[in-house]
Structure 1
Amino acid sequence: MTFDVRRMLLLAEVARHGSITGAATALNYTPSAVSQQVSRLEAEAGQPLLERHARGITLTEAGRGLLTHAERIDRELRAARSDLDELAGLRAGSLRLGTFPTVAASFLPLVVREFRRRYPAVELVVRSSRHAGLLDMLDSREVELSLLWDYEWQRLPGDNLDITHVLDDPTTLIVGASHRLAGRESTRFAELAGEQWIVRADHPVAEVLTRSCREAGFEPAIAYRAHDYQEAQAMAAVGLGIALAPRLALPGLREDVTTVALGPKAPARRILLASPRGQRPTPAAQALQALFTSTAAKLLSMPAPLDQAVRQYV
């Protein structure tokens, strides 16, 4: 036996108002329309649900039994609407975000801090991984959004992703405090042909170095292969060589090293925010996307280089 839920809720209105006319007035229906729907519900039930008399109506035993279920359904539907309203108003819910280490140590905390201040009731879960791992998490829906990056020569394929360009993260030069270029505002790769280099092992910045040096007409001489940017800074500080790094990879710059800009033609990685293509964003995801955009705009409007702007951000 199948019941039309809307007719069951209509029966509850009739019982609540004590008459078909009262229910019709409350619902802005005609009395004949309400009476017709109740008759159809009785046909579904296979027995009378109302007893009609001059002073109104009373429910039959079957009507009272069905009313109990109708009232329970009404409560559940109201609770469902309340839950959805909470989610839409960002007063409940959760959001799963993917990120990678260098942006998680610099740009991302600025956004997370503001998101948690504005929407304290939304649970934000952040997962950090390398590039391939983040793509896998997006594909499996383990995360709803993920920060990613790419370079001009290897753009992120957008076949299965909706991609938002958040900001550009320029490459900068790291030198020791006593290096000949320390104190310079900028330099060009052509001036670096005789230098020894510290490079991240098996890392995209190694390709940035190779491409940039070859474009300037020389091959880089590698003195040390580091496993993170703190290690690269330490080796640069003692004069073993110089290194390249994206600006957002340097939130904690050592006091015995400095950075030198590489000019407007320096390679820059794009910082991207991606979601699975065709996935409708939740209100929480939309709010987070807006915060990434506004925070990036504020950083880029500051006169300091990006890594310094992150440290100065309020």
Structure 2
Amino acid sequence: MLDVSRLQVLLHVIEEGSVTAAAARLQYSPSAVSQQLRRLEREVGQPLLTRHARGMVPTEAGQVLAGHARKVVRQLTAAEADLAEIAGLRRGQLSIGTFATVGSSFVPLAVQRFRQLYPSIRMHIHSDREQGLIDKLEEGEVGLSLLWDYEWRRIDPSQVALTTLFEDPTVLVVAADHPLAGERSVHMRDLADEGWIIRSEQHPVVEVLHRSAAAAGFEPRISFEANDYQEAQAMVSVGFGVALAPRTALTNKHPGVRIVSLGDSAPPRRIVVAHRHDRVRAPAEIAFHEVLLDMAQGYEPD
């Protein structure tokens, strides 16, 4: 394998016409240049330069090698320029993961800000469920992803590197004409007689309901199992029951419902950004990570 730095030395000697001139341009000593040339000649197994009255002249082998060396140097220079543009966020791409509720609330704000700062970066955004997002991180399909967890089921920090962005409170959703619709805050113990609209039994917010109800001393009576939060809101709006939801899930609020705080009687979920421990993060990933942290400061879902 030929040494690229020695090829560059050869080119400088040929272009400058002497070892002394090449050494001055490279800021090397003449002896160091001569040493590099001798090593290169040993690598190729034949002389590359001959000395004439007008200076150093390439042999036939030297001319052939110099022609290839010019191409290599041009490609390396182009590569350095491309890498400098990527490092300077003047080009490149970014792949991130998100999930539905923050994908419809917080993430668009961060994406908008990032595109204002770095308009040349091409973004790819993948929305998925939790395990799908972790799989995408592990497989390198996304460089970073937003995830969530609750205090009783934390994401394993040895699996992925985590940075907390904000807490997403659990709130109560009631019909606009419900007796509690005008309250700013209620406690779970005041809701023992309500019918509850839930997501499917496997959905995490159902566990939040059961834990919160148990702590308040009652067993929730289930009125309806909804397919998504929009369906849950619609059933709440006609008085079929009340519901719990993360606040970010209610960015697109149904006009017939009201949102009431539960204070600390229902646990919040933690919104985090994750990346692989072993990943060498690209400049665009680091920049988007910083934008997420900036946007999360003081963020409150509407």
- Tell me the TM-score normalized by structure 2: 0.97
Is 1:220 aligned to residue 220 of structure 2? Answer: yes
2:5 corresponds to: 6
Cα deviation for residue 129 of structure 1 reads: 0.8
Give, in whole Å, the separation in 2 of the partners of 1:33 and 1:138. 48
Secondary structure, counterpart of 1:137 in structure 2: helix
Q: 1:293 to 1:245 in 2, by over 3 A?
A: same
2:129 corresponds to: 130
Cα deviation for residue 126 of structure 1 reads: 0.8
Secondary structure, counterpart of 1:252 in structure 2: coil
Give, in whole Å, the separation in 2 of the partners of 1:200 and 1:3. 64
Give, in whole Å, the separation in 1 of the partners of 2:191 and 2:208. 14
Taking the TM superposition and a 5 Å limit, the aligned residue runs for 1:75-90 are: 75-90=74-89
Give, in whole Å, the separation in 1 of the partners of 2:163 and 2:301. 21
Residue 212 of structure 2 aligns with an amino acid whose one-letter code is S
1:244 corresponds to: 244
Structure 1 residue runs of 5 or longer lacking an equivalent are: 300-305, 309-314
Cα deviation for residue 53 of structure 1 reads: 2.5
Residue 122 of structure 1 aligns with an amino acid whose one-letter code is I
1:179-212 CA-partner distances (Å, limit 9, x unpaired): 0001110000111111111111131000000100
Secondary structure, counterpart of 1:223 in structure 2: strand
Give, in whole Å, the separation in 1 of the partners of 2:120 and 2:15. 36
Cα deviation for residue 266 of structure 1 reads: 2.8
1:311 corresponds to: none
1:227-249 CA-partner distances (Å, limit 9, x unpaired): 11111111111000000000110
Secondary structure, counterpart of 1:258 in structure 2: strand
Give, in whole Å, the separation in 2 of the partners of 1:209 and 1:51. 86
Secondary structure, counterpart of 2:301 in structure 1: helix
Is 1:235 aligned to residue 229 of structure 2? Answer: no
Is 1:274 aligned to residue 274 of structure 2? Answer: yes
2:145 corresponds to: 146
Taking the TM superposition and a 5 Å limit, the aligned residue runs for 1:252-267 are: 252-267=252-267
* Contact residue 212 and residue 265 of structure 2 kept, 8 A: no
1:175 corresponds to: 174
1:307 corresponds to: 301
Give, in whole Å, the separation in 2 of the partners of 1:47 and 1:151. 70
Cα deviation for residue 265 of structure 1 reads: 4.2
Give, in whole Å, the separation in 2 of the partners of 1:159 and 1:221. 39
Secondary structure, counterpart of 2:32 in structure 1: helix
Is 1:119 aligned to residue 113 of structure 2? Answer: no
1:96-153 CA-partner distances (Å, limit 9, x unpaired): 1111111101111001111112112111111111111111111211111111100011
Secondary structure, counterpart of 1:264 in structure 2: helix
Moved more, 248-257 or 36-45: 36-45
RMSD over aligned CA atoms reads 1.1
Percent of matched pairs sharing the same residue:
50
Give, in whole Å, the separation in 1 of the partners of 2:243 and 2:120. 43
Secondary structure, counterpart of 2:263 in structure 1: coil
Residue 126 of structure 2 aligns with an amino acid whose one-letter code is R
Secondary structure, counterpart of 1:215 in structure 2: helix
Moved more, 233-242 or 45-54: 45-54
1:92 corresponds to: 91
* Contact residue 187 and residue 265 of structure 2 kept, 8 A: no
2:55 corresponds to: 56
When the two structures are aligned, how many residues end up with a matched partner?
A: 301
1:34 corresponds to: 33
Moved more, 32-41 or 209-218: 32-41
Poorly superposed stretches of 4+, deviation over 6 Å: none
- Tell me the TM-score normalized by structure 1: 0.93
Cα deviation for residue 86 of structure 1 reads: 1.0
Structure 2 residue runs of 5 or longer lacking an equivalent are: none
Secondary structure, counterpart of 2:288 in structure 1: helix
* Contact residue 188 and residue 265 of structure 2 kept, 8 A: no
Secondary structure, counterpart of 2:297 in structure 1: helix
2:159 corresponds to: 160
Cα deviation for residue 45 of structure 1 reads: 2.2
Give, in whole Å, the separation in 2 of the partners of 1:297 and 1:62. 64
Cα deviation for residue 43 of structure 1 reads: 2.2
Secondary structure, counterpart of 1:307 in structure 2: coil
